[in-house]
């Protein structure tokens, strides 16, 4: 079982372009659940190591529903990652969360359609993990503190509603989602966040607002959204440059909620599944 406490980042390919980042090596990992979105990049910022996976692949070739979320999380856990910071673009469902705001949600609402593999359990292993508090609040606080220190507008709390995509919402759908009192809407953080819970990892999201979904009368053009994404990418680089060293120097303890998840009699679990559980529960 891996006793390391490494840092993992899941996000866009812009992380490669952070000034001062040192690429150490790439790890080609095949998991029992298939291949991750790309090789896992081992890198350093100010001498502090972290691992990075571009969620949609290096050349952005994977739709949200095509991402192998299980392989991504399992590959990071295999490398000893304990803390996972997710960065993703989202639409805002609230007036007070304008474009370029970084939202740090505390909850997720799963509105996907069942196309995604969403658990490590099954095939002879029955396991249940609570997602009542899907985000690690200590990690969320550290991200909020970092955003404040580097001058990035942020909002802590609220819910991230995850849709299947790849299409954006209709106006009717967007109106329904606002009735849920959700803060932002995206396509990638479920089942990613729930799998991180099953793997016993501390997970938190940086949801970068690009637009107001489609509920506002003003309909953003693709060009406007792309310009906002460029701004957000610059902001998230600023955050990560400070956040990764801060976390590396203050690796906090937490109680993984997966330790008592497995209900199946150990005698009934085959050797391959035991190996999987050793990594997940380690």
Q: Catalytic residue positions? A: 211, 213
Count Cβ neighbours within 10 Å for each residue of 100-126 and write b for 16 or more, e otherwise. bbbbbbbbbbbbbeeebebebbeeebe
Q: What are phi and psi of 227, to 5 degrees?
A: -65, -40
**Residue 76, SS3 per DSSP:** helix
The pair of three-digit structure tokens given for residue 41, joined into one six-digit string: 């990049």
Helix intervals (H) in the chain: 69-78, 137-150, 171-179, 189-198, 222-248, 271-281
The pair of three-digit structure tokens given for residue 249, joined into one six-digit string: 């120097």
Give dist(CA 200, CA 202) in Å, integer.
7
Q: What are phi and psi of 50, to 5 degrees?
A: -155, 165
Give dist(CA 134, CA 121) in Å, integer.
18
Helix intervals (H) in 4-62: none
**Tally of helices (H runs) and strands (E runs) in the chain:** 6, 11
Query: Assign residue 169 a region: left if phi > 0, alpha if psi is -120 to 50, beta otherwise?
Result: beta
Report CA-CA distances (Å) from 114 to 88, 118, 119: 21, 9, 12
**Residue 255, SS3 per DSSP:** coil
The pair of three-digit structure tokens given for residue 77, joined into one six-digit string: 């856990």
Rg value, the chain, Cα: 18
């Amino acid at each position: 079982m891996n006793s390391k406490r490494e840092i993992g980042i899941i996000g866009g390919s812009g992380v490669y372009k952070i000034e001062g980042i040192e690429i150490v090596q790439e790890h080609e990992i095949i998991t029992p659940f298939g291949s991750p979105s790309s090789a896992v990049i081992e890198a350093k910022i100010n001498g502090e190591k972290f691992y990075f996976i571009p969620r949609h692949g290096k050349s952005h070739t994977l739709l949200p529903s095509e991402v192998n979320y299980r392989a991504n999380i399992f590959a990071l856990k295999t490398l000893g990652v304990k803390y996972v910071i997710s960065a993703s673009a989202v639409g805002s469902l609230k007036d007070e969360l304008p474009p370029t705001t970084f939202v740090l949600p505390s909850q997720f609402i799963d509105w996907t359609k069942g196309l995604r593999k969403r658990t490590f359990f099954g095939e002879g292993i029955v396991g249940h993990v609570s997602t009542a508090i899907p985000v690690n609040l200590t990690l969320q606080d550290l991200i909020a503190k970092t955003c404040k220190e580097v001058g990035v507008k942020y909002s802590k709390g609220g819910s991230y509603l995850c849709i299947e995509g790849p299409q954006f919402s209709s106006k009717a759908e967007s109106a329904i989602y606002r009735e849920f009192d959700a803060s932002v809407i995206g396509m990638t953080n479920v089942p990613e966040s729930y799998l991180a819970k099953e793997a016993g990892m501390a997970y938190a999201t940086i949801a970068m607002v690009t637009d107001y979904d489609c509920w506002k009368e003003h309909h953003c053009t693709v060009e406007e959204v792309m310009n906002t994404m460029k701004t957000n990418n610059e902001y998230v680089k600023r955050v990560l440059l400070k956040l990764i060293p801060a976390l590396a120097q203050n690796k906090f303890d937490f109680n993984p909620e997966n330790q008592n998840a497995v209900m199946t009699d150990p005698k009934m679990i085959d050797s391959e599944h035991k190996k999987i559980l050793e990594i997940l529960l380690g």
